[in-house]
Amino acid sequence: MHRSILLSAAARYLMPLMLVFSVFLLIRGHNEVGGGFVGGLVATSALMLYAIALSPAALRKLLPVEPHLLVSAGLISALVSGLIPMLAGKPFMTGLWLKYPIPVIGKVGTPLLFDTGVYLVVIGVVTWILLTLAEE
């Protein structure tokens, strides 16, 4: 397949920007538009842009872990976010928040951990599916 130089040059710059934006969406998501699901989709489209501009194999090389590990890690962090409040004697999945917001990130609590889990699962699943399709 013919590769476009413009696209591959743009992809190298766009991908990091989109990844940063996806994290922004993730953190913003609790009370405003955004969240783990949307963030995950934006991150995946960044990865896919890279795969289209270069090649699926290049993306495989770029990814530090296999997609299924992302899914697994996401599920476990969502599970852990539900279990943490139980250590404090609260029911499963109760939202616990730090008292003071952290600069830049804002309020941090177990719902953010849950959302991070969703973020990872979405990236893992969608990348997994698309890479499999692209490599067929």
Partner 1 sequence: MIALPILLPLLFGALCLMAWQNPRWQKAFSLLGTAAQFGAAIWLLIRVQQNGIQHLQVGNWPAPFGIVLVVDLLSAIMVTVAAAVALVVAAYSQAAIDSPRVQYGYYPLFFFLLMGVNGAFITGDLFNLYVWFEVMLMSSFVMLALGGERPQIEGAIKYVILNLLSSTLFLSALGLLYNLAGTLNMADLALRLPGLETGNQITLIAMLFLVAFGIKSAIFPLFFWLPASYHTPPVTITALFSGLLTKVGVYALFRVFTLLFVQDTAYTHTILLIIAGFTMVTGVFGAAAQTDLRRLLSFHIISQIGYLLMGLGMFSQPALAASIYFMVHVILAKTSLFLVAGIVEKMEGSYNLKELGGIYSTRFGVALLFLLPALSLAGLPPLSGFFAKLALVVAGFDLHQYAIVAVGLGVSLMTLYSMTKIWNEAFWKEPKDPIRHAKHKPISSWLWASTAVLVFISLLAGLLAEPLLNLANQAAAQLADPSIYIQAVLGVAP
* Binding stretches for partner 1 (CB under 8 A): 66, 68-69, 71-73, 75-76, 79, 82-83, 85-86, 90-95
Closest CB 97 distance from partner 1, rounded Å: 13
Closest CB 28 distance from partner 1, rounded Å: 21
Side chain identity at residue 83, one-letter code: L
C-beta of 54 vs 82, nearer to partner 1: 82
Closest CB 86 distance from partner 1, rounded Å: 8
Nearest residue to 113 (alpha-carbon basis) of 72, 78, 73: 78
Contact present, 129 and 120 (Cβ < 8 Å): no
Assign residue 134 a region: left if phi > 0, alpha if psi is -120 to 50, beta otherwise?
Answer: alpha
C-beta of 54 vs 125, nearer to partner 1: 125
